[in-house]
Amino acid sequence: MDNQSLTFLSRLYLDYLDVMHYSDRTIGHRETTLLQFTAWCEERGLTRANEITKPILERYRRHLHHSRDKRGNPLSAKNQLGRLIPLRGFFKWATQQNYLLYNPASELELPKVEKRLPKATLSPDEAELILSLPNIHTEEGLRDRAILEVLYSTGVRRMEVVNLSRADVHADRGVLAVRQGKGKKDRFVPISERAIEWLKKYLDEVRIGFAIEPDPQNIFLEKNGQPITPDRLSRLVTKYIKQADIGKSGSCHLFRHTVATLMMDNGADIRFIQQMLGHASILTTEIYTHVSIVKLKQVHELTHPTMHRQRQIEREPEATKEVLLSTLDEESEEEQS
């Protein structure tokens, strides 16, 4: 096979990402974007990587700008960005590996994505109303209450809830171990005593009956013994939000937004919320700021609405809050896509 062909180099690049322990989701996304770009190039008689120049990439960028999605709507700037960034990574790798003499994407300008604040968050009363809706006298209702309590107490991502195992609950320390979160990073997250009690009740009274050998070890199971899926979890949470009839919509990520917003309102330092949510940085180019889990637990107890205590802690500038909330909003869009 031609070692300059886009198809051949794309496969080598994806193998490289796998060796470097990139997540399956990241590799899958980059494979899709490279296939789309390769198909576009082949329609124009371009099959080799050394035929790709900066003007050709600029033509592809304009092509994306005028493209439509499956519903007939123009591609959003965020969607266009998501298709161009993998190309920059691919051509950078190909140049570093000496498959190309120069990187045609090194100076490619990317679409600017508008920073937006989340459309809505829950008030403490609204959150409590939603948590009260599952019928805890049924097995699935008790499980659902435990799920909602975990989401509201910890602000963890949807996939992080799905992947939680029984060994991740450290009730004596009041923390959850979130393993292989976004970016394959592990972290500890504070969890309230109330959420722990609901988790214990579910584990002791419901999960033990749902589990079928071989036990998958995931905390949250369906009645057939299989781990709850991300889509099923989203539908479940959306159902209770709609039932609350509070004029707001959303799913798992609505609780993530809410936790961050309410803790900031109660005075939590932005750095603690940053670690709790598993953000590598408030600004994506900065190095992660590590904070002691003991201190983080104290901040959680003082500022999370379920703890019923408030104390003023030194506040971060408003602009920094906007960046954090904007990051949460972008995460929500990624989850929905």
Catalytic residues, by residue number, are: 157, 182, 253, 256, 279, 288
Q: Is the dihedral of CA 294, 142, 130, 334 positive or negative?
A: positive
Amino acid at 218: N
What would the DSSP string read from start to end of 165-215?
A: BGGGEETTTTEEEE-S-GGG--EEEE--HHHHHHHHHHIIIIIHHH--SSP
CB 177 within 8 A of CB 186: yes
Phi, psi of 25, rounded to the nearest 5 degrees: -65, -45
Label residues 129-155 b or e (16+ Cβ within 10 Å = b).
Answer: bbbebbebeebeebbbbbbbbbbbbbb
Question: How many other C-beta atoms lie within 10 A of the C-beta of residue 158?
Answer: 21
**Terminus-to-terminus CA distance in the chain, angstroms?**
35
Residue 132's φ and ψ, nearest 5 degrees, are -85, -5
Task: Please give the C-alpha separations between residue 241 and each of 58, 193, 200, 211, 264, in angstroms, as whole numbers.
Answer: 44, 23, 24, 28, 23
Query: The tokens of 89 are what?
Result: 């990574």
Helix (H, G, I), strand (E, B) or coil at 17: helix
Q: What is the DSSP letter of 297?
A: H
Residue 317 buriedness (CB in 10 A; 0-12 / 13-18 / 19+): exposed
Strand runs (DSSP E) across the chain, as ranges? 169-170, 175-178, 187-190
